[in-house]
Amino acid sequence: MTQLLEMRGIVKRFPGVLANDRVNFDLRAGEVHTLLGENGAGKSTLMKILYGLYQPDEGELLIEGAPSRITSPTDAINHGIGMVHQHFMLVPSLTVTENVAMGTVSKRGRMNLRHVSDRIEELSESHGLAVDPDAYIWQLSVGERQRVEIIKALYRDVKLLVLDEPTAVLTPGEVDHLFKILRQTAEDGRGLVFISHKLHEVLALSDRITVLRHGRVMGEVEAKDANREMLASMMVGRPVRLAPDKPPMETGRARLTIRDLNVMGDRGLPALQDLSLTVREGEILGIAGVSGNGQRELAETIAGLRKPESGTIEVDDADITGRQPSAVRAAGLAYVPEERQRDGAIGAFSVSENMILVNHRHPPMSRRGFLRNGEIRQRSQQLVDEFSVATPGLDVPASNLSGGNLQKLILARELSGSPSVLLASQPTRGVDIGAA
Amino acid sequence: MADIFSATVIVATLSSGIRLAVPLLLASLGEAFGQRSGVLNLGVDGIMLLGAFGGYFTTLKTQSPWLGLAVGLGVGLVLGLLSSVISVSLLAEQGISGIGVYLFGLGMSDLLFQKLVGTPLPAASFQKSPIPLLSEIPVLGDLFFNHSIPIYLAFLAIPVSTVIINRTRFGMNIRAVGENPEAADSQGISVTRVRYAAVTIGGILAGAAGAVLAIGLGIFQQNLTNAQGFIAIALVYFGAWRPLGVMAGSLVYGMVSAVVLLLKTRGIIPLGASDLAAMIPAVITVLALVVAARRFRAPTALTKPFIRGG
């Protein structure tokens, strides 16, 4: 097998962080080589160096054996490198064809889009990538947009394709389909770099796996010799139990009762229809489903952020239907929102300020309108310890915390009020295995 | 007073409305290019003023309005590049930096005028060039085909721009860079280069707008544009970032201006209220903007500087 890529001793420093520490990585034609690691392990940084978005501070890069310098995406494209980014690089107001044609070379200014759309149809047929070339991106589902990203790469006939967390937004069915396409793409003689932190996906798709932690390579294994426990331990740096033992809990009386709830979504279409559910004491009720099927609207309605059309919501026999968030909280509901950076904490506020955000209006945190700093510090230090929030101090801005630690902070705050019901939206998204 | 409604007066008024619309049309068309690429240039009025002075002064000295127009374009080119440096390379806050360009243009054009000319002297203007045959058509001929060449060119720029924006690779790059610069960058399109080009086109057209205004009037004075550059920015929103929409807005402004001018010269609006009346076109245009603009969405990356990997 030909060696497509070799990255040797790559070092990349950001202020205060060593994102890549002498990383070695290579890729052969026809294989899927996975970069596995937690958030912030340096996977995306390494690939952004490969794609010319960052310049390495040290190290060298060989493409098909020849030392190369890649200083811009244009360079990368000219070297036959394609990248499907974590956030789609598509222009919503342009069509599929226009997005694919964008930036490709042509002799004159006029575009021959007919030719491009013919080629897209060929590619979608030969690779099972069904997509309408004339559709606008904004009309497409997430899965279809993913396919457009892959078509973009195939259209340029890349030799080396990097996929940065491509499954984050897909349904299980879409993931299976994507993996089939990716296997086929590799078998055509291309090399694929797959970035992920989902162990079962990594094992299903890869030929080889390189594990990164804190910017360093922790090891490289053949996928056939690997298993989940081993990979998880390499990622986290200590043995990890993937399935905690949980004794069954006795369930008691109903704490949250929802009856016949009807809620409109943002576009004025029904998001929830006649939904009823009960959560009992000692019970965790999971809401599963592809995102966009009413989960967000349900959480917002319970939390008092969205008015239902009809139906009732009760916490401990108190009717909170359509009440303001403060009243809902007073009734005993705690809420960990989906967008923790945006809705769950105030990034510019310190850790201790965020800790008491809900309670600051009441004694003992404040008295006669004045915040009581001694009490606040004592209380937040206690919570930081109890929930093992890794923070350099109580006074650093919350925006400095990693996703997992910010989530612990929010959870600590929400649980500190001894709520009757805890409502948590996507609480483990973007949180490391260790923290989760 | 009854003769206000005679055919001759109506045709003359509409015809002057078309003429008055042209500086605004050029300026807002240029601004639309910049905004489609994601750059808000608030300095249009300043560029217009310097273009106007450059055009006027050159015409005054050389007796050639065409040379004057060329100098206006050149001034616009230089200031367009300057605006690009500020907004694209230096990543300035676009809501603020353009005001600096405006104040620079306002002060500099007046300073140059005071130093180099002093008392306003009339300069040569463009000759009318009736289009053969077409200008013979009754009413319509006088209305549309009896203007000077820059006016025909300005209206020709509308369909040309529509084609450039929608049908060429350059136009697609402009739209891509204005909607999702990260995506464009990852496809190998230079966001910097495309934005420089779009903003500089905007500068050239703003310079042309000023020159056409000053040479059309044959005169220059302090703050000649009367904030038309700012109206032009509003018209870009009114016109939903499309050349045709921008033209429609400019024509509304031009027509209302022409009517107000007519009413003033006929003494229907008393002299004391003439400053008040001067506001009417702007007010009506802004009202039209408020009513019409709700349905449209601005380019997503408008006013957002682009930093790779940031």
User: What is the CATH number for A16?
Assistant: 3.40.50.300
| Range B172-193 average pLDDT | 90
Is residue B243 in a domain?
no
B166 interfaces chain A, CB cutoff of 8 Å: no
Is residue B21 in a domain?
yes
Is residue B282 in a domain?
no
C-alpha closest to that of A302 among A266, A259, A345, A270: A259
Is residue A165 left, alpha or beta, with left meaning phi > 0 and alpha meaning psi from -120 to 50?
left
Record: contact B187-A87, CB cut-off 8 A? no
Which of A236, A269, A298 is the C-terminal boundary of a domain?
A236
Residues A272, A230 share a domain: no
Is residue A242 in a domain?
no
Contacts of B106 (CB under 8 A, 6+ apart): B45, B46, B49, B223
Which of A297, A331, A365 is the C-terminal boundary of a domain?
A331
Please tell me the least confidently modeled range out of A70-79, A375-384, B94-103.
Answer: A375-384
C-alpha closest to that of B200 among B54, B65, B278, B89: B89
State the pLDDT at residue A272.
Answer: 92
List the Cα angle B205/B207/B212 in 5-degree steps. Answer: 90
The token duo for A136 is 């606008």
Number of residue pairs across A and B with CB atoms under 8 Å? 71
For B183, nearest residue in chain A (alpha carbons): A89
For B186, nearest residue in chain A (alpha carbons): A73
C-alpha closest to that of A345 among A354, A334, A337: A354
Q: Does the structure show a pLDDT above 90 at B141?
A: no
A71 interfaces chain B, CB cutoff of 8 Å: no
- Enclosing domain of residue B172: 14-226
Work out whether strand A3-14 and strand A333-336 pair parallel, antiparallel, or are unpaired: unpaired
Best probe of the B interface among A70, A89, A149, by most B CBs < 10 A, is A89
Q: pTM for this one?
A: 0.76
Chain B residues in contact with A106 (beta carbon < 8 A): 169
Is residue A26 in a domain?
yes
Which of A281, A311, A331 is the C-terminal boundary of a domain?
A331
Q: Is the preceding peptide bond at B281 cis, omega within 30 degrees of 0?
A: no
Pairwise CA distance, residues B11 & B17, whole Å? 10
Coil, helix or strand for A425?
coil
Q: In the 8-state DSSP scheme, what is residue A435?
A: T
Is residue A245 in a domain?
no
The total domain count for chain A is 3
Is residue A210 in a domain?
yes
A47 interfaces chain B, CB cutoff of 8 Å: no
Is residue B250 in a domain?
no
Pairwise CA distance, residues B68 & B70, whole Å? 5
State the pLDDT at residue A251.
Answer: 83
Chain B residues in contact with A111 (beta carbon < 8 A): 167-169, 172
Record: contact B184-A88, CB cut-off 8 A? no
Q: What is the pLDDT of residues A36-85, one digit of tens each?
A: 988 778 898 999 999 999 999 999 999 999 999 999 999 999 999 999 98
Nearest CA-CA distance, residue A134 and chain B, Å: 15
Is residue A241 in a domain?
no
State the pLDDT at residue B292.
Answer: 66
B267 interfaces chain A, CB cutoff of 8 Å: no
Residues A146, A32 share a domain: yes
Residues A324, A221 share a domain: no
Chain A residues in contact with B186 (beta carbon < 8 A): 51, 53, 73, 83, 85, 89
Record: contact B187-A72, CB cut-off 8 A? no
Query: Of chain B residues 170-199, which have a CB less than 8 A from chain A?
Result: 170, 172-173, 175-176, 179-180, 182-190
Please tell me the least confidently modeled range out of A97-106, A365-374, B34-43.
Answer: A365-374
Residues A107, A61 share a domain: yes
Is residue A265 in a domain?
yes
Residues A222, A73 share a domain: yes
Write down the number of H helices and E strands in chain B.
13, 0
A54 interfaces chain B, CB cutoff of 8 Å: yes
How crowded is residue B50: how many other Cβ atoms within 10 Å of its Cβ? 26
The total domain count for chain B is 1
Residues A362, A311 share a domain: no
Pairwise CA distance, residues A166 & A178, whole Å? 9
Residues A303, A417 share a domain: no
State the pLDDT at residue A111.
Answer: 66
By the 10 Å C-beta count (0-12 exposed, 13-18 middle, 19+ buried), A249 is classed as exposed
Best probe of the A interface among B37, B169, B306, by most A CBs < 10 A, is B169
Is residue B85 in a domain?
yes
The token duo for A15 is 């202020």
Best probe of the B interface among A14, A70, A85, A91, by most B CBs < 10 A, is A91
| H or E stretch at B47 | helix B44-62
- Enclosing domain of residue A392: 336-436
Chain A residues in contact with B165 (beta carbon < 8 A): none
Residues A344, A327 share a domain: no
Residues A210, A190 share a domain: yes
Residues A146, A75 share a domain: yes
A114 interfaces chain B, CB cutoff of 8 Å: no
Residues A270, A191 share a domain: no
Q: Averaging pLDDT over each range in A123-132, A327-336, B205-214, B289-298, which range is the top one?
A: B205-214
Residues A11, A139 share a domain: yes
State the pLDDT at residue A360.
Answer: 67
Is residue A99 in a domain?
yes
Is residue A140 in a domain?
yes
Contacts of A248 (CB under 8 A, 6+ apart): none
